Structure 1
Amino acid sequence: MPYKDKTSTKTPWVGQVKINGKKIKHRCQTRKEAIEWEAAQRQKTAGERSETHTISLLEWATAYLEFCEKKFVVNTFEEKKRAFRILFAGGVDPQLPVETLQPFVLLKHFQKQAGERSGNAANKDRKNLSAAWNWGRNYLGIPFENPFQRTGKQGEVRHDRRIPTLAEFWKVFETTTELQDKRMLLCYLYSGARRAELFQLRWQDVDFINGRIRLYWKKNQLGTMKTAWLAMTDEAMDALREQHRSTGKSKWVFVEPGTDHPYKYRLQWMRRLCKRAGVDRFGFHGIRHLCASILAGKGVPLVDIQDHLRHDHLSTTERYIHKIKETRSVVNALTGLKGAFSGEGPQEAPEKVDTKLTTVSK
């Protein structure tokens, strides 16, 4: 604030501001002039600070991950955090300003990741980091051009999701020794639930009277938690009653052995069970697809399958069962070919005989 210096008659008012720890003063004839000078100096300093201050890669990453931790489920958040950790561990200095990040550096990074991990993993990191850059562009004012998008995707080896047959599922079920594991497998088969949905199932979400369970999930762009009651079969509810008798004192339905905590990942569990049963490996989502295929095979309407799987869009459910219907129609068309034609080998058109050139020897 300006103050008045009584020792001066021509310029009694003194404006003062502090810039970079140093106090600067300026004499004025009136108090109004001193106030205006102080305001002009503060505005000038703020402008210079905004021009010189740059956001580092670490500041950008930290701000984005704080946003993601509140918006996304744990697995998605961990995936995004891992992408940054690998980027900085790969030689990119997190203290550098964001505008210094060059596409060529990122291209070399993703090429290395494709060689050491896989093209799929490198492209997943690229997608997450590209989304982070777009977020920073909207909220932090970082450069508009996205350097991650300029790198292009790495080559991928795509594998169709392994969907087990019902016989393979029961074979895994029979070779499972732990009772809790058997009950969990039954619940996955009858509910078609996603992995985390049953991991986070609580006893307050189990309605034994009406034979249903309540599931929670986050699958929309806003990250909003959604919930729905799902009707269950008598077999599934009987399994849950048995589970309640053994873990009913816990808050969670399925808990890690020796603890009162729910499962989080169980990454190798299905791998071990499949290996023990002698079947090709499949995962939790494979059981979800199996549930959809069973419903489709029994002629359940598509909209009812959508409700059971809790898909937001019918097109998602159609993708789940499209290959099943497509394969069945091809098999039906090829059935009964044996004996359809006389002779052996490919069917050929009868050989034509030119009667004009045919001579009869006497």
Structure 2
Amino acid sequence: MKKKLLADLYIIFSAKEFAPSVAKNKKRTVSSFNNILIENNLDLTTLSTKQAETLVETMCAGLKPSTYNRKLTELSAMWTWLLSMGLIKAQNPFATIKRKKVNSKAQYAPKSDDVINAFSLATKEEQLIMLLCMIVNASKTNMRFLHFTDIDQVNNVIKLRTHKRGTRNAQIEEVDIPEYMVNLLVDFAIKNKRYSELFSAHPLVAADRNKLRPLCNDAKIKSFTIDALRTLKARFALNNDNCLDLIQKHLRHSSLSTTKLFVKKNKDASTHLAGESFEELIEGCLVTHILAVYGSTTSKCPIPSSCVAILYRALTHFQEHQVAWEQLTSVYYDLLKLILKLASANNIRKKVKYFNVRP
């Protein structure tokens, strides 16, 4: 009874100091350890280091090294708390147990070279799907409330269901896409049976971000956000017509003085953004980003980081095989126009801070 009481005291009194998810993990770990103690008829107050190590190995059998280390840390924290409360006098047996080495490179992650080779062999339509998948999966942790729901073949429209974080008030948004892409998406959706798995299930892009994210970090390229899109539109307006009201509208500034400050800071930075249309500007920004990755210049234009990373590697591959640049730009131009349509869908910018569609 005493053995169970000590563990219960720790769960009840110390869990209040932690977030609910952390407290839940601690409770699960301590309860599992407590049950093993009772099964082996051991006393918590006289537990040796060797016995503690054996019990932890039994409790964590088949788990990842990182999980083993976490549970060991949680049990050590339990012992430290009991010691500080005067409930136990023996030294912490978990403190001397060696942590397992964690392999930073996941076994299941595909090689980035394989992704690039698959990309280079894909058709134009497949490349579009691949890049769209990368944009969709660029930031899963930030995007939990924008879902792909349906394809309308008649009107060439895809439907997105949006809702605010923490609520269940859903709203359907419709976005136009090119006809050939609709047919391609429908065929792919039929093969994968579920629309919700459409973007993440493509075999050419599965789990690509584990290998490609370091490339984005090295290039110091931020992900594609609604705020970044607004900034780019404002810079475009600043460079072409210099209308304060239009710039204020793009930036959603409540005060004109804030807009004037933006103009003052970005006037020189916007001189390279000249273009006949916003779509041409976006295509130009893509080229600027490629140059930025190679170190020739710098850019703050909001092209998706995952798109730039794969493009950087793809360009390296294509240059070795002397593939014409004109063949590449048409693919990304179509894709970026689709991104703009998605970003400007009615009411999405009011509900979603980061524009990273997640199925």
Shorter-chain TM range is 0.3 to 0.5
The TM-score with structure 2 as length reference comes to 0.36
Structure with the greater alpha carbon radius of gyration: 1
Of the two structures, which has the highest relative contact order with CA contacts closer than 8 Å and spacing of 6 or more? 2
More helix by share: 2
